[in-house]
Structures are given as C-alpha cells and as structure tokens.
C-alpha cells in the first residue's frame, strides 16, 4: 500500500517535471521564432528592436507570472490577481500626477531610476494599507475583495481621466502612451534597474517557495505548523508589488494576463509544489506574450495591440470564473 502510494507520487512528480520542461521548450521555441522570423533579410536595426521587445517580454512575463502565482497562494483564490486589485492603475496614476504638476517634458528628462523608485515606493505604501485591511479579515471573501479592487481601480482610472482632461494635447498624448501596454515602446532606460529588482524578487520568491506551500493551506494551519504567517505574507506581498511595478514600468498595464496564465498553469500542472508552479507560470506567461506578439505582427500587421487581445480573452475567462464561483476552490 505504502509502496503503491510512493510509486504514484513519483509518477506524478515526473509528469509535472515533464510538463514544466514542455512549457520551457514552448517559451524558448516561440522566442526563437519571434527573434529570427525573416532572418537574414532584415538588418541590424530590426534585430536590435526585436531584442529590446524580447527583453521587455521576458521581464514582463516573468514578473506577472510569478506575482500572480504567489498572490493566488496568499489569498487562496484563483480569481484574484494584483492587477485586478488596481495596482497597475496606481502606477499609471503616479505617472499622471507627475505629468500634471511637472509636465511631460519634466517626466521625460527626470532621472528614470528615481522615478522608478518613487513609483515603487508609492505602490508599496498603498499596498500596505490595502493588504493590512484585507489581512485583518478572518476570511477572504472573494466578492468583497473583487469589489474592493474594482472600487480602487475605478477610482484610479477616473482620477487619471480627470487629470487628462486638464492637460494640453501634447501632454495628453504622453499620458496615453503610459496608460496602454506596448512592447514596441519599452522604457529601455530602466531595463537594468528593473532586471535587478526582478531578479532579486524572483530569487526570494524561490527561497520562500516551501513556506508558500504552507501559506496556501490557510492561516490557521500555517500558524499551527509554526510559520510566522503575517511576517512571511508581508514579505511576499512586497515582492509581488515590486514585480507589478517592474512589468508596468516597462510596457504598461496588462490587466488580465496574470489571471489567464495562472489558471492555465494550475490546470496544466495540478500540484501544490510552488518550486514547480512558479517557473511554470513564468514560462506560460512568456509563451503567451511571445505568441501574442507574433500574431499581432504577422496576422494583424500591427493593426491591433497585444494588450487588447489578452485583455479580451482574459476578461471573458474572468467572467467564466466568476460564474463558476458558486463553490469555493
């Protein structure tokens, strides 16, 4: 009996590892197709542009995939993601406020490192207030958290719109460029610092993966097992906010990407081992972004954007998940 259970567990682990390798291969294959499509007809300028877009895709995919999976484990629900709570809208609001008071020229000439740090600091401050309120509740009611996220997201978006109506047309165009995701206009000035922030965050998430497995069992179980629940949750939430800041600063907000790739990963690899789920979700996110960008370039000929496609598919999937929320996951 015991040997049968051990054999079944080993088979499951081997199957999950094979699926992880497949996702890594899918992401790598899509990346190579995106990078070398049409080679060697194009010149060095096209290759440089593709490398910049690919760097943004890799960083954004890894950041959104990892942060969504970690956040799902904390709130114990597959509907809630950081973007749905309005964190990326907050980042855009911070940029809008700077444009409103200082002008788009000042924003463009401002030290990008300081601007990134200010934006991350503002997001962490707001997130601490939001998460402190959320963690005080005995149970995380999904509809209450969704309502809270919708309220804050609408508030930030409405304030962005209000400030935009007071700007002159030139500054309004700069504001529009910030508010929409684009891998053709990546903020290359912060690629270095964003990579450092993201790598440190991912390393810490990997280090806390076993604690994350305990957290996903619930607060009471985690406390009974001797885990410093609130201390670990706060560390993970700050890492989540940093990842969302990195992705939004590089390409702009993509609201439903995290929801989509996180649920696809959990369905494809049904395990609670976060040392498998974290890289799997990152590979899934990168593959979705790269394939989506190829479709935008080759099928739609840049007549649409990847954020519109992902938000349409992710939004439809979000509604399906809401309708299925009759029973608790």
- pLDDT value at position 316? 85
Residue 140's pLDDT band (boundaries 50, 70, 90)? low
Query: Residue 226: exposed, middle, or buried by beta-carbon count in 10 A (0-12, 13-18, 19+)?
Result: exposed
Do you find a cis peptide bond into 40, omega within 30 degrees of 0? yes
- Asked if the model's pLDDT at residue 260 lies above 70, the reply is yes
Residue range 180-227, pLDDT digits in tens: 666 666 777 788 888 999 999 999 999 999 999 999 888 888 888 888
How many separate domains does the chain show? 1
Taking a C-beta distance cutoff of 8 angstroms, is the pair 285, 61 a contact? yes
Q: Provide the 10 A C-beta neighbour count for residue 259.
A: 24
Residue 177's pLDDT band (boundaries 50, 70, 90)? low
Q: Which residue is listed with tokens 């040997």?
A: 3
pTM above 0.75, yes or no: yes
Residue range 288-328, pLDDT digits in tens: 999 988 888 888 777 777 878 888 888 888 888 777 765 55
CATH number of the domain where residue 142 is located: 1.10.3470.10
Q: Nearest 5°: CA angle at 84, between 61 and 166?
A: 100
The two tokens of residue 125 are 């401050």
Query: Residue 165: exposed, middle, or buried by beta-carbon count in 10 A (0-12, 13-18, 19+)?
Result: exposed
**Which domain covers residue 180, as residue numbers?**
1-327
- pLDDT value at position 255? 80
Residue 107's pLDDT band (boundaries 50, 70, 90)? low
In whole angstroms, what is the distance from residue 115 CA to residue 81 CA?
25
């Amino acid at each position: 009996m015991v040997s049968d259970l051990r054999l079944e567990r080993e088979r499951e682990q081997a199957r999950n590892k094979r699926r992880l390798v497949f996702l890594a291969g899918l992401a790598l294959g899509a990346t190579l197709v995106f990078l070398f499509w049409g080679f060697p007809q194009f010149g060095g300028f096209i290759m440089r542009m593709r490398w910049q877009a690919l760097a943004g895709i890799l960083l954004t995919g890894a950041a959104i995939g990892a942060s969504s999976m970690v956040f799902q484990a904390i709130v114990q629900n597959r509907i809630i993601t950081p973007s749905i709570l309005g964190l990326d809208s907050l980042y855009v609001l911070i940029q809008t406020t700077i444009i409103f008071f200082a002008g788009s020229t000042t924003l463009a000439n401002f030290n990008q490192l300081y601007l990134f740090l200010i934006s991350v600091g503002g997001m962490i401050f707001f997130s601490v207030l939001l998460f402190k309120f959320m963690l005080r509740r005995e149970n995380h009611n999904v509809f209450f958290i969704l309502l809270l996220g919708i309220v804050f997201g609408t508030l930030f978006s409405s304030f962005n719109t209000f400030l935009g109506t007071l700007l002159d047309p030139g500054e309004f165009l700069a504001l529009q460029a910030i508010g929409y995701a684009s891998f053709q206009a990546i903020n290359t000035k912060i690629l270095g610092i964003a990579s450092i922030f993201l790598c440190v965050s991912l390393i810490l998430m990997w280090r806390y993966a076993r604690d994350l497995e305990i957290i996903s069992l619930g607060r009471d179980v985690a406390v009974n097992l001797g885990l410093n629940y609130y201390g670990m949750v706060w560390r993970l939430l700050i890492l989540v906010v940093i990842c969302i800041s990195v992705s939004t600063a590089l390409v702009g907000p993509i609201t439903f990407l995290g929801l989509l790739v996180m649920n696809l990963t959990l369905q494809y690899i049904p395990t609670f081992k976060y040392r498998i789920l974290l890289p799997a979700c990152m590979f899934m996110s990168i593959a979705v972004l790269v394939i989506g960008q190829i479709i935008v370039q080759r099928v739609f000929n840049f007549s649409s954007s990847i954020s519109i496609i992902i938000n349409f598919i992710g939004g439809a999937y979000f509604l399906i998940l809401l309708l299925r929320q009759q029973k608790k996951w």
